[in-house]
Structure 1
Amino acid sequence: MFGRKKDADRSGSTSVTAEPPAPETGAPGAPRARQTPAKGRPTPSRKEQEAARRRPLVPEDRKAAKAQSREASREQRLRAQAGMAAGDERFLGPRDRGPQRRFARDWVDSRYSVGEYLMIVALLAIAVLLFPNQNVALYGVYVIWALMIVAVLDAFLMSGRMKKAVQAKYGTVEPGVRWYAAMRSFTLRRLRLPKPQVKRGQRPS
């Protein structure tokens, strides 16, 4: 073993290890060197990244935060009130929601109702009852009672016709629709919610 090594040293021969040729950059299939594009800004440190992600649980200016929250709540409340007044289904409660309830509202709003004037008559009744002449006060009470009876009869007949119209349009009548229409007829038109969407004399659709 040692003799061979010496012979090789004497002869001056050296072993050359063949290395594979380096792949050309443009050759197909050759791996491309990854190049990192310049960011244009220094990479933030870990401390800076944690500080950017950290959000305070309590705002620095509590007074401004409360004012902003109140303003947002006010805008949301006004939007809900406007939607309810316009009859938007998204802002209506269960009592007013549904196509049959809308039809009932339009039916009531398209006509004159005796019951919607009861509030005005009730205010007049207070003045009549305080009248010094007892005969005038007594006649005033009779008129009020007569008007109440007529209003109830009018609401009964109106809601009955409305129920038939709902039956013909939808095939069935939801529970409470007739009572809903009758109660609406006892409210002064300008105070009704949702607001009337049809004019008097206009046929509901």
Structure 2
Amino acid sequence: MFTKKPGRRDAQKDATRARILEVARDHFERHGFEAANVRAIAADAGVAAGTVLLHFADKRDLLHAALFDDLAATAAEAARDDEPGPLEQRLHRLAAAFFDYYARRPALSKALLRESLFADPPWQARFAGQVTAAHGRVVALFEAARARGEVAADADAALFGVAFFSFYYFALIAWVQGAHPSPVALLDRLVAQHLCGLRPAANVRRAR
């Protein structure tokens, strides 16, 4: 008696979902969110429009899923970076991983900024969860730097994480609006200036 392999149907569903998302990213990037439509995305993905709507509630849900998956993959790749180095270098690599993604898909980046910051539930909580995880990564890097003596022993790691993301979003907005050509360089300068006030007192005196 023939028995289907366990999980085969799920694997097919996952493959279909991934194909739809990849086509959707291309359509959103080439045409913009408003001009893109589900029927055209379905046709290029080789499925019926109804199949797209089995996986995603509507076009906005499709956009959120595409952005969420991209950010999750980018974050996972950045988290695998275990190359040693001072705090500023490691933060630079972390930010560069995300800004490299934005540069590859500039039109989607504008949608990312709008949709991830102001998404409705349940995506609001999911995007917030990604930010929380990234904040945790920054805090961990800061705590490791503090243990190495790069920053003052009483420096607040969580508060630094908040400052880092303030700088990050400022640099992202400046880039999206065309006000600054190099968001990572801008972020590096903001972080470096902020860290000047968090160095151990002995380091500050030597710098003077």
Compute the TM-score of the two structures, normalised by the length of structure 1.
0.24
Q: Which has the higher contact order (CA 8 A, sep 6+)?
A: 1
Compute the TM-score of the two structures, normalised by the length of structure 2.
0.24
